[in-house]
Amino acid sequence: MNPEARKAIQLARLRNLAEKVYRAVPFYRKRFDEKGVKAADIVSLQDIGKLPFTTKDDLRDTYPYGLLAVPHEEIKEIHMSSGTTGIPVVDAYTQRDLDDWAEGMARTLNAAGADRNAVVQNAYGYGLFTGGAGVHFGAALLGATVIPVSSGNTQKQLMLMRDFGTTLFTCTPSYALYMAEQAKDMGIDPKSLGVCAGCFGAEPWSENMRREIEKNWGIKAYDIYGLTEITGPGVAFECEYQEGLHVNEDMWYPEIIDPETGKVLPDGEKGELVITTITKEGTPLIRYRTRDITYIYSEPCKCGRTTRRIHRLFGRTDDLLIIRGVNVFPSQIENALIEIQGVEPNYLIIVDRNPETHLDEAELQVEVSAESFSDETRNLENLRTLIGATLKSKLGINMKIKLVEPKTIERSTGKAKRVIDKRKI
């Protein structure tokens, strides 16, 4: 669609949404009144900046039904995530919301090459988590064959891939790597299973991790983004050029703000992603602060889609680890590790504060490959020193490195847990 034509639609939807939430959601009426803003003040898309933000705390305070904008009988399905911070986040969908979600996910899977001939093996968890349902609805709308296997049961996953001719599979990137590892243990080369593509997301993953997955599986690995608050997966997706993720912005309108000041930032500047659900009926959100860090590309994409793109996520405003004053995202550590021969991209960061010195102490547990593990102790010691020195020179942090045996760090069939922060701060 011509971007100017889309802007007109977005503006009409935004105004309509502002009117609706003012009328139907006491929480928003109060917020709008406090800011002295009305739906009629929205005359251009820039005027979105006049509207109040919604935060995760607001969701907690209004749990479970405080943000509902339609009568209960309109709600057809509910999803929920407890998230990494433990705050329950509820999304209640009307039929139209479910249709929009299916549309967003159909575009996502289609951009990864799926159509009605595809066999989509959905290894995201089914249940309250949005991954299972989102992929399912999108694949069904495309007319593809869906294999609703859910997460876990790795041997069965591999058997289904072989027996049903899976062309595309979906799961968290860490589970995709784990599945490849298990396949090799069973004497199966994952490449021999004939899968062409995978759509991975729901947790941070680096460019290097993408290469590992692609190499192991012989597939093209696509990044997909979404969050329960907004709808689930399908908010943004990669096309064949993989230069950023196209936002389905006719439904989920993006802005980037400075997380400190709340000021809207121009395209190309990194900040916190804020999304307004301009077509949502059940639990619409105005300027929701995702805490995810990215920027918006200003140039159009080579693929011809005219929707704006966001960069792959750089991390979150809240999973930023600050170790003795040095800011580091787990994904940066992962990127550094994958470049080192002899280690596996399975790691755990444990941060604590020394009660005597009051200084932060960080330990990095890294799995070594089976070959390095059987090496002489001297070689292992060299590897340990190399990892420590690499992290120091690349990221400026001092970490105690602990090499652990292959396959000892707990695997996850969903989101991998990479950090244990024991500091009480």
Instruction: Tell me which residues touch ligand DLL (CB under 6 A).
Output: 81, 83, 124, 130-131, 201-204, 223-228, 232-233, 290, 292, 313, 316
H/E element, 17 = helix 3-24
Region for residue 44 given its phi and psi (left: phi exceeds 0; alpha: psi -120 to 50; beta: otherwise): beta
Structure token pair of residue 206: 């680096």
Q: How far apart are CA 225 and CA 273, in angstroms?
A: 12
Secondary structure class of 283 (helix, strand, coil):
coil
Q: How far apart are CA 274 and CA 293, in angstroms?
A: 10
Q: How far apart are CA 223 and CA 244, in angstroms?
A: 9
Judged by beta carbon, residue 19 or residue 214, the one nearer ligand DLL is 214
315: phi then psi, degrees, rounded to nearest 5 = 140, -165
Judged by beta carbon, residue 346 or residue 372, the one nearer ligand DLL is 346
Q: How far apart are CA 148 and CA 123, in angstroms?
A: 7
Judged by beta carbon, residue 154 or residue 331, the one nearer ligand DLL is 331
Q: How far is the CB of 225 from ligand DLL (least distance, A)?
A: 4
H/E element, 277 = strand 271-277
Q: Is the dihedral of CA 112, 118, 124, 129 positive or negative?
A: positive
Judged by beta carbon, residue 18 or residue 176, the one nearer ligand DLL is 176
Judged by beta carbon, residue 22 or residue 415, the one nearer ligand DLL is 415
Q: How far is the CB of 73 from ligand DLL (least distance, A)?
A: 26
Judged by beta carbon, residue 303 or residue 320, the one nearer ligand DLL is 320
Query: Whose CB is nearest to ligand DLL?
Result: 201
Q: How far is the CB of 130 from ligand DLL (least distance, A)?
A: 5
Judged by beta carbon, residue 277 or residue 372, the one nearer ligand DLL is 277
Check: CB of residue 279 under 8 Å from CB of residue 13: yes
Q: How far is the CB of 50 from ligand DLL (least distance, A)?
A: 25
Q: How far is the CB of 83 from ligand DLL (least distance, A)?
A: 6
Q: How far is the CB of 351 from ligand DLL (least distance, A)?
A: 19
Check: CB of residue 364 under 8 Å from CB of residue 400: yes
Cβ atoms within 10 A of the Cβ of 173, count?
A: 24
Judged by beta carbon, residue 66 or residue 83, the one nearer ligand DLL is 83
Q: How far apart are CA 308 and CA 379, in angstroms?
A: 49
Q: How far is the CB of 224 from ligand DLL (least distance, A)?
A: 5
How far is residue 140 CA from its own chain's centroid?
Answer: 22
